[in-house]
Amino acid sequence: MVDHVKKNKRLVTSPRINKVSLLRRFSAWTHQHYDQIISSFLALWKTPLATFMTVLVLGIALSFPSVFHVFYKNIERVTAQWDRASEISLFLEKDISEKRIQVLINKLGMYDDIASITYISSYQALEEFKEMSGFSKALSYLDENPLPAVLVVIPNNESMDIVSSKLLVEKLKNEQEVNLVRLDLDWIEKVQAIVALLVDIVVTVALLLLISILLIMSNTIRLNILNQRTEIEVLQLVGATNNFIRRPFLYAGAWYGFLGGVIAWLLTSVLVFALEQGVLNLMRLYQVQFEIAFLNINETLLLLGVSTTLGLLTSYVSVKQYLYKISPR
């Protein structure tokens, strides 16, 4: 009876014992990883100059795609203000009567893709030209007004993109009273083509820099492994697993990548702040209200995450390759 009770007691307490054992193992595992993370970081600074130079090179390489991302993001914000047709100018026939002009205005007002229409008479156009050109005295000697009347058409929000605006222009050209339709969007398409070309160039250069980053980090981890070859052999002799030996080098690679990402973020910040005033002055010349957009929190975390992951993966490949060369198991 007593033995039966003891047996049942062991059966009841066994899951609790297993749970406590798992918790202890998990606690020991996390403590071990924490110690190796800290020790791998401190080990980097046993050779501070070499570590700083490596991190600086990685930061410079990573800052190039980071700076271009900021540049491209701001270019998109600027062109977003330009690639929408704010107005379309309709230059009317020279001898058109005011009555026909009013009929045309009423007709255009029925277009679904037109938000508003502003009429500028030939007299108003001449007066504005005198003020803007500074040739008011010379223009006063003209026998007749050479400027036609103009209708300024503002498309609605759905028709302000380039494709829709061009379709609207084609419809407006069919109006008999219209002599010329002016929509200045060709230069915007050229700018977009140039930006697309720059994107392709920078992506290619970024890939080359990525390869250089992988080679730099691979060589750095390899040197660390060779410098600690004696320690690795001793650990293997006392029964340490490859995972235990490999882990500090993986964390060291992650630290290299993370610190390189931090340097890249700092270099990007310095460059953007240095160019900020010049860019704002340029935008004022084009009468564009603009504020430079920098890396936001998500983009900063992405930069650090990518750089850390690159360091970790490069370290894993390097350790797997060179560790087994030292003592294959």
- pLDDT tens track for 159-184: 666 677 778 888 888 888 888 888 76
Per-residue tokens: 68: 């271009």
First to last CA, the chain: 53
Question: Nearest to residue 248, comparing CAs of 17, 61, 40?
Answer: 40
What would the mean pLDDT of 216-222 be, rounded to a whole number? 80
CA dist 82 and 307 (Å) reads 35
What is 86-184's CATH number?
3.30.70.3040
More confident residue, 276 or 298: 298
Average pLDDT for the chain: 77
Of 14-18, 37-41, 226-230, 300-304, the poorest mean pLDDT is in: 14-18
| pLDDT tier, 258 (very low <50, low <70, confident <90, very high otherwise) | very high
Which H helix or E strand runs over 204? helix 186-227
Question: Nearest to residue 162, comparing CAs of 180, 190, 181, 189?
Answer: 189
pLDDT at res. 326: 61
What would the mean pLDDT of 139-151 be, rounded to a whole number? 72
Question: Nearest to residue 89, comparing CAs of 30, 173, 33?
Answer: 173
CA dist 296 and 272 (Å) reads 13
pLDDT at res. 12: 46
| pLDDT tier, 272 (very low <50, low <70, confident <90, very high otherwise) | confident
- Say which residues have a Cβ less than 8 Å from residue 166's Cβ, sequence separation at least 6: 183, 185
Checking if the pLDDT of 13 tops 70, the result is: no
Checking if the pLDDT of 216 tops 50, the result is: yes
By the 8 A CB rule, do 221 and 314 touch? yes
CA dist 254 and 185 (Å) reads 48
Domain with CATH 3.30.70.3040 in the chain: 86-184
In which residue are the tokens 């980053």 written? 213
Question: Nearest to residue 118, comparing CAs of 98, 148, 145, 88?
Answer: 88
pLDDT digits (tens, 9 = 90+) for 319-329: 877 766 665 44
Checking if the pLDDT of 2 tops 50, the result is: no
What would the mean pLDDT of 262-289 be, rounded to a whole number? 77
Query: φ and ψ at 153, to 5 degrees?
Result: -105, 130
Per-residue tokens: 240: 């340490």
CA dist 67 and 79 (Å) reads 18
CB atoms within 10 A of CB 150: 20
Helix (H, G, I), strand (E, B) or coil at 119: strand
Checking if the pLDDT of 187 tops 70, the result is: no
Which H helix or E strand runs over 185? none
Checking if the pLDDT of 139 tops 80, the result is: no
Question: Nearest to residue 259, comparing CAs of 61, 111, 70?
Answer: 61
CA dist 204 and 65 (Å) reads 10
CA dist 203 and 74 (Å) reads 17
Per-residue tokens: 229: 């070859």
Of 139-153, 194-208, 289-303, the poorest mean pLDDT is in: 139-153
More confident residue, 64 or 22: 64
Share of the chain above pLDDT 70, in %: 75
Checking if the pLDDT of 1 tops 50, the result is: no
| pLDDT tier, 48 (very low <50, low <70, confident <90, very high otherwise) | confident
pTM: 0.62
Of 99-113, 208-222, 272-286, the poorest mean pLDDT is in: 272-286
